[in-house]
Structure formats: C-alpha cells, structure tokens
A and B are shown apart, each in its own frame.
Chain A
Amino acid sequence: MIRFLDVHKSYRVDGREIPALHPFRLDIVDGEVFGIIGHSGAGKSTLIRLINLLERPSGGRILIGDTEMTALDEPALRAQRRRIGMIFQHFNLLASQTVADNVAFPLRLAGERDAAKIHSRVGELLERVGLAEHAGKYPSQLSGGQKQRVGIARALANRPEILLCDEATSALDPQTTAAVLELLAAINRELKLTIVLITHEMDVVRRICDRVAVLDAGRIVEHGTVADVFLHPQHPTTRRFVNEALPEEAASAGAPLAEVRGRKLRLTFRGATTLSPVLSRVMRESGVDFNLLAGRIDHIKELPYGQLTLALEGANADAAVAALRDAGIEIEELP
C-alpha cells in the first residue's frame, strides 16, 4: 500500500510559494494499476515523483507498506528506490551503453558483481519484453516502442514491488501505445506488482487502470474505480477527459437532444448485462417505443460496458424504467 497522508507540495518561485499540490490523502492498493490523469501543469508529475521522493513534499507523510519514505536518510532512501521501478516519457536510456548494459545498470548499481548472474537476468528481462535479439544494439538504433521496452526491462531488473510510469506512452504512436500498455498490463498480472501511472489520455486509463484519480490544478477532484469515474463523471474536468476519449458520443449528444420528444435516459450496462438482451425484452414486455440517440459498447480494462442514450415514448415508460433498473442497468434521466 502506498499512502499519502496530508501531503502537499509547493515551489518557491521568486520568493513566493506557489502551490503545486494542495494537501491530499490517497491510498494506492498493492497489486492494482492506479492511474492519475490531469492536464499538463495539474501536478501529476510532481505527484508521481513524491512516491520515490524525487520530489520532496513540503509537508505530510508518504508511506510504502510500513516504511515511512519521508523519514528515511539518504542511504536508506536509495535502498528503497531500488524496490521501485520507473519508466519515462522520453525513456531516459544511457545513449552510450548497449541495450544489455542499460538493463544491467540497475543491477550493477545495486552492487551485483557476478557477470554470469547479470547476463542471465538481463537475458530473462529482454526475453520478457520481446527484445532478446537487440541486446547488443544502442538506444539510437531502436524505435520509440523498443526504447520504452528497454525502459521497462530496466525498471523491472531489481524485481520491484512498484512500477511508476511517467507518461510512458505519450511519445508513442497509437499502435505502439497499445502494445506497450498490453505489456504493462501483463506485467501487472504476472508479477503482481503495483503500477502507478500518470497520463493526460483517458484512453490509457480506460485500457489498463483499475482505479483513477483526476487531478485538476493541484487537487484530486475525483477518484474511484475507472468504471465509476468513466461512466459517471462528476467533475467538469473529468467530463472533459471522458469526452475526449469518446469523441463521437460527445458530438452526437449535443444540441439535437433537446428537440427529441419523449423521456430521455442514459442507460449504463456493466459486465454481464452488456451481453444479455435486457433492453429488447423490457421494451417488448412494456410496449414502450424507444429511439436510440447515442451509444457505445466497449471495454474498460476487461469489463465490458455499454452506454446508450434513449428517448422513451409510451404510457408504460415508468414501468419500463423500473424493469430496467431491476435488471441491473444504471439509469440517469437527462433534461
């Protein structure tokens, strides 16, 4: 568990204190993929750097398990950092070293001298990220996606319990992003390590995160399971992020909605209900007509979901809504 207890951070700029993160509490559970989403300048890169104390908080305490990170001296902090892997937007590989030496670097830093051990561990890691045949190359000879895989192999070298991802896919094209996210999800499943990632893309959160916190101007304005936050965003910033991830719906749910007759509802299906013909059964039984205005069926991580905007017409609309609710569908009335 990573715990932030009343942590805050401000920077001194020209003699004035500029707050970067207002006091907050946050628990990140072992083994989950936790996303922090925010626009640039919202404070997310400060927040992720508080975990391994690349940034020192101005106040409050940070705990990882039973270790109070904020109370450690330099050598103890360095030892703790070896248990936390980190990958970066711009990969930050050593340009002067081969792929194998980059991956071996954290092992050597940790004091490993046995060349045979280093060699076999590096081989294992490169195999895991699918770069076994590139061991002798230099970073400049690799594509962005390959560089990030080297970064991941390097971050995993010392078998960390936590992996921090600092905009790890922001410099990659969509296809490469998908592949890297898949790799991260697989690592999370197989190695049971906790992943904390920051991003400005809701799509990244939707694909691999279990829970998410939305950061806006130094405050966590909303947090919860990705499904809850994504399907029922409360804060305007969250809504904007969700709409960015669903551009087609945002466009179709605009002005014309007001002109449609009938009772307008947004239905949210999660998990099994997405896969059963609930809607058609209820409508047939209640004799209500519906007009489909907007909709989407997709996945949040492995959870299938559907979100439909309907207009109901007919005398039995109330009964239909009640029946839908009984079937486990979340319903919001729209104006």
Chain B
Amino acid sequence: MTAPLLQTLFPNIDDWSELGRACIDTLLMLGGSLALTVLIGLPLGVLLYLTGRGQLRAMPKLYGIASLLVNVLRSVPFIILMIVLMPVTYALVGTKLGVRGAIPPLVIGAAPFFARLVETALREVQQGVIEAAQAMGASTWQIVRHVLLPEARAGLAAGITVTAIALVGYTAMGGAIGSGGLGDLAYRYGYLSYKSDYMLVTVVLLVVLVQLLQMFGDRIVARYKRH
C-alpha cells in the first residue's frame, strides 16, 4: 500500500534503502565529527580563554598564535578546506572518501569555530567567582575543571548545538567531493541527474535533523540556565 504511494510521489527514488544508508552515513559523520570537534575545540577554547589579555594565564604571544590559527581555519570556505586537506586526510585515515574520509576536514573546519564559542562562553563567567576560587587556593586547573566549565555549561551546550548544526551543513557539502551521506545523494541525483524528488527528500530530512538538534540543545540549555 505504501510502496505505490511513495512511487507516485517520488517517481525517481527506486532504492529507498540507499536513502536509509545515506541517513546513517550523515548521522555517523555528524556524531564522529562532533565528538572529535568537542574533544579538540574545548581545550583549544580553554587555551584561548586562559591566555587572553587580563586572564588567569595571560600569554599574549601564545594567544596571538592560537587566535590567528583559529581565524585562518575559520576563514577558509569549507569546500576549499576539504580539497586542500585531502593529503592530510589520506595520511590520517587512509582514504579521502566516505564517512572516514569526511571526518578529518569536518573536525578541522569545526573545531576552531567551536573553540571561539567556548572562549566566548567562558568569558561570560563572573570574574568574581573565579577570584573567589583563587582566594580559596584553587589551582588554574581546578578553576577550569570546577568553576569555569560547570559555570559556563549553558553557554557550552548552546555552542555544541550551534556547532552540530553547522556540521550538518558541512556534511552535506562534503557530498560534493564524495563523502557520502544525504548531501551526496542530493548532489548526485538531485542536482547532477535532475531528480528533484531526491533533492526534496534529502532537504526535508536535513531540515528535520537540524530541527531535532536545535530542540534537544535548547532543552539542555534551558535546564542548565535554571540555576
């Protein structure tokens, strides 16, 4: 019953399992790259925060270098970054294609972006609370671990949400150079082969994904903000 209806609505989509496969690929790319982005971006953001002017471990030179690196990586359009990084990707994961090949450029593209969001979120923490921790004899590491990160958790959760959504966009772009996933389908079938129903379905799926991420993120932020 359902199959004929789907067939009339989307005449060009003959293999729905391929779409399912693409969905899973997108989710794998998103999950893998988001995890690594947070893993790399969080310490980088903390470094930016701590070494900034007037902060706990102010180091203007180190801050300048880290800041420049972040800005350079952020200013390269992602599609270019993917191409430029191909040799690096190959060296890291042994392939330039598929989910594995997509993750290194996704992480390198998103981690600096996330690091800036982390830096901004940490700056929102009241200076007085940090001073109180110092007065209690806290080390810099203890301040990061027990004051900055817990106090900034609402801002950090918002930053992860924004980054996840940006990554959805990046994964879709990755389709253009063979990384697989929904973007790949939209590009190959929808754009190159004029099968606009493919385009429609993938876009709807992406919209749903972004919507879910935003709702989930907002809920966590609201919970953290209550106190």
Contacts and interface: CB of A to CB of B under 8 A. Distances in A.
B128 to A, nearest CB: 4
Contacts of A88: 128, 131-132
B139 interface: yes
| Interface bin, chain B | 20 to 34
Given A108-B146, A138-B227, A92 B129 contact: yes
Interface in A88-105: 88, 90, 92-97, 105
A192 B196 CA distance: 81
A143 interface: no
A78 B137 contact: yes
Contacts of B5: none
B142 interface: yes
For A77, A90, A93, A105, which residue has the most chain B Cβ atoms within 10 angstroms?
Answer: A105
A106 B142 CA distance: 11
A190 B99 CA distance: 67
Contacts of B137: 77-82, 106, 109-110
A138 B150 CA distance: 14
Given A97-B150, A108-B146, A92 B136 contact: no
A31 B131 CA distance: 25
Contacts of A82: 136-137
A90 B128 contact: yes
B141 to A, nearest CB: 11
A52 interface: yes
Contact of B132 (A79, A92, A108): A92
B132 A86 contact: yes
A29 interface: no
B34 to A, nearest CB: 23
Interface string A96-126: 1100000001101110000000000000000
Interface in B112-135: 126, 128-129, 131-135
A96 B153 contact: yes
A71 interface: no
Contact of A86 (B129, B135, B138): B135
B146 A105 contact: yes
A291 interface: no
Interface in B138-153: 138-139, 142, 146-147, 150-151, 153
A314 B135 CA distance: 62
Contacts of B129: 92-95
A82 B153 CA distance: 27
Contacts of B133: 105, 109
Chain B interface helix/strand/loop/mixed: helix
Interface in B204-226: 224, 226
A52 B135 contact: yes
A95 B132 contact: no
A54 B151 contact: no
Contacts of B153: 96
B157 to A, nearest CB: 12
B131 A54 contact: yes
Contacts of B136: 81-82, 86, 105-106, 109, 154, 158
Nearest to A138: B227
A110 B146 CA distance: 13
Contacts of A95: 129, 151, 227
A94 B147 contact: yes
B131 A96 contact: no
Interface in A186-236: none
For A54, A78, A109, A154, which residue has the most chain B Cβ atoms within 10 angstroms?
Answer: A109
A52 B139 CA distance: 14
A84 B135 contact: yes
Contacts of A40: none
Interface in A264-296: none
A249 to B, nearest CB: 37
A65 B139 CA distance: 24
Interface in A157-175: 158, 164
A80 B137 CA distance: 8
Nearest to B135: A86
23 contacts: A54-B134, A54-B135, A74-B139, A77-B137, A78-B139, A79-B137, A80-B137, A81-B137, A88-B131, A88-B132, A92-B132, A94-B129, A94-B147, A95-B151, A96-B150, A96-B227, A97-B150, A106-B136, A108-B146, A138-B226, A139-B227, A140-B226, A140-B227
Top 7 closest A-B pairs, CB basis?
A81-B137, A92-B132, A138-B227, A92-B128, A78-B137, A86-B135, A82-B137
Interface of A: 52, 54, 74, 77-82, 84, 86, 88, 90, 92-97, 105-106, 108-110, 138-140, 154, 158, 164
Given A78-B139, A158-B136, 15 more contacts: A52-B135, A54-B135, A74-B139, A80-B137, A86-B136, A88-B128, A92-B128, A94-B150, A95-B129, A95-B151, A96-B150, A96-B224, A97-B150, A105-B136, A109-B138
